[in-house]
């Protein structure tokens, strides 16, 4: 169905985390591509540590130049977890990327953010602030998904978000089994 899949984003899409149960550490992008028959050609441009604006500045133009027919965008965790949250900037950056990707003719997978506060050992007030910001980011994702008719992945409400067996010791990144599971979740969502 698709010929070339391009993934943009941060460490969640790059695929950093712990290797567990002798399962090689590979990004969810790799697992997602392997589930296709034949294996889907892909380019993973995601890099750890980037906030949403940096993803746009460093990855969007390159992604568009590759002329993909399928693109994924999952962003915003670093904006929040690094204490650099700015709702208006996040909304603007996401809109700019989604608009450009949609106008290119590519189908777009977009993911919301899981509830990191369910796992992170933080003071209650800090958890409350982070949760509020995550909900704001996820509302932007929901709104854009509806407006642009994207393929949304709901990590907030998926059971994987609260199952510690899928997460690395840092409690932020999936582990090798988690990335495999996420690849399956996204594949199943895109096969609907």
At 163-172, the pLDDT tens digits run 989 999 999 9
pLDDT of residue 162: 86
pLDDT of residue 5: 98
What is the three-state SS of 82-140? Answer: CCCCCHHHHHHHHHHHHHHHHHCCCEEEEECCCCHHHCCCCCHHHHHHHHHHHHHHHHH
- Lowest model confidence (mean pLDDT) among 70-79, 135-144, 156-165: 156-165
Whole-number average pLDDT of the chain: 96
Contact 130, 81 (CB under 8 A): yes
What is the rounded average pLDDT of the residues 52-72?
A: 98
Contact 150, 108 (CB under 8 A): yes
Instruction: Measure Cα distances from 38 to 33, 143, 188 in Å.
Output: 9, 33, 16
**Residue 65, Cβ density class (10 Å: 0-12 exposed, 13-18 middle, ≥19 buried):** exposed
Kindly state the tokens that stand for 12. 């969640």
Strands 151-153 and 107-111: parallel
Q: Confidence band (pLDDT; 50, 70, 90) for 192?
A: low
Q: Over 70: is that where the pLDDT of 161 sits? A: yes
- Lowest model confidence (mean pLDDT) among 34-38, 48-52, 61-65, 116-120: 116-120
pLDDT of residue 57: 98
Quote the percentage of the chain above a pLDDT of 90.
94
What is the rounded average pLDDT of the residues 60-67?
A: 98
Q: How many CB atoms lie within 10 A of CB 128?
A: 12
pLDDT of residue 29: 98
Contact 15, 37 (CB under 8 A): no
Q: Over 80: is that where the pLDDT of 138 sits? A: yes
The per-residue DSSP string of 154-190 comes to: -TTTSGGGG-GGGB-TTSSSB-HHHHHHHHHHHHHHH
Contact 2, 66 (CB under 8 A): no
What is the rounded average pLDDT of the residues 120-137?
A: 96
Domains of the chain: 4-190 (3.40.50.1110)
What is the rounded average pLDDT of the residues 148-173?
A: 94
pLDDT of residue 191: 78
CA atoms within 13 A on the CB side of 185: 21
pLDDT of residue 26: 97
């Amino acid at each position: 169905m698709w010929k070339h899949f391009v993934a943009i984003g941060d460490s969640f899409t790059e695929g950093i985390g712990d290797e567990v149960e002798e399962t090689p550490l590979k990004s969810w992008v790799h697992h997602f591509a392997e589930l296709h028959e034949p294996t889907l050609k892909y380019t993973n441009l995601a890099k750890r540590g980037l906030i949403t604006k940096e993803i746009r500045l460093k990855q969007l133009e390159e992604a568009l130049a590759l002329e993909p027919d399928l693109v994924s965008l999952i962003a915003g965790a670093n904006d929040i977890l690094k204490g650099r949250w700015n709702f208006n900037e996040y909304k603007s950056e996401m809109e700019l990327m989604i608009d450009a990707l949609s106008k290119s003719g590519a189908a777009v997978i977009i993911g919301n953010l899981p509830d990191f506060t369910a796992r992170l050992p933080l003071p209650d007030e800090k958890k409350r602030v982070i949760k509020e910001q995550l909900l704001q980011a996820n509302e932007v994702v929901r709104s854009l998904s509806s407006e642009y008719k994207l393929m949304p992945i709901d990590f907030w409400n998926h059971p994987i978000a609260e199952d510690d067996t899928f997460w690395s010791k840092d409690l932020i990144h999936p582990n090798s089994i988690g990335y495999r599971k996420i690849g399956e979740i996204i594949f199943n969502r895109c096969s609907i």
